[in-house]
């Protein structure tokens, strides 16, 4: 039985060519932390999460430092009892990356995200953002739900896939 193109893209990402990926990550480290990209790197994953190659869809690559999920100790202005930190931050890296992309692109809504790699110091994610003001989005019956006012800032309320996972809803 013949397989489609997305099947082979998915299979290729199960065992990526590390030499090419390492070279890409070197250039990504030199660039800014939140960068708009022309096309998604993992086309199969992006399409599965709702991406379409049309106006109104934006893909952003986000670089995050690994580690340091424990809250920092307050330096001053507390009672001694309140200076200790017992809890760590309960948000996962993907959710943090989505929030950073949403803060940089304020007029866009976060649809979803996926992992594209990690090295010794950084995680790299691609975030799919949608412009709810575009007519192409408003007229598309599969994605026009994101144009409703109650879906503004959904990433900050934990309503994306990464946010729901962090909140223990999946």
Residue 61 sits in a domain whose CATH number is 3.40.1120.10
Question: What pLDDT score does 49 carry?
Answer: 94
Number of structural domains (the chain) is 1
Angle at 7 between CA 23 and CA 10, to 5 degrees: 30
Judge whether 82 lies within some domain: yes
| DSSP β-bridge partners for residue 115 | 125
pLDDT tens string 117-150: 999 999 999 999 999 999 999 999 999 999 999 9
pLDDT tens string 30-41: 999 999 999 999
Judge whether 119 lies within some domain: yes
| CA nearest neighbour of 162 among 130, 127, 118, 121 | 127
Full domain range(s) for residue 148: 17-166
- Tell me the C-alpha to C-alpha distance, in Å, between residue 32 and each of 39, 62, 77, 91: 17, 8, 35, 23
Q: pTM of the predicted model, to two decimals?
A: 0.88
Averaged over 13-31, what is the pLDDT? 92
């Amino acid at each position: 039985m013949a397989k489609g193109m997305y099947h082979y893209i998915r299979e290729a990402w199960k065992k990526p060519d590390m030499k090419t990926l390492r070279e890409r990550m070197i250039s990504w480290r030199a660039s800014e932390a939140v960068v708009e990209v022309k096309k998604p790197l993992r086309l199969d994953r992006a399409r599965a999460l709702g991406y379409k190659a049309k106006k109104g869809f934006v893909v952003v690559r986000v670089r995050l430092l690994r580690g340091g999920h424990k809250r920092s100790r307050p330096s001053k202005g507390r009672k001694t009892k309140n200076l200790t930190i017992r809890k760590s931050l309960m948000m996962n890296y993907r959710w943090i990356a989505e929030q950073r992309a949403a803060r940089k692109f304020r007029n866009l809504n976060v649809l979803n995200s996926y992992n594209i790699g990690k090295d010794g110091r950084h995680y790299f994610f691609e975030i799919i953002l949608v412009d709810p003001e575009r007519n192409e989005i408003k007229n598309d019956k599969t994605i026009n739900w994101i144009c409703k006012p109650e879906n503004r800032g959904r990433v900050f309320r934990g309503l994306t896939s990464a946010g729901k996972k962090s909140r223990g809803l999946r």
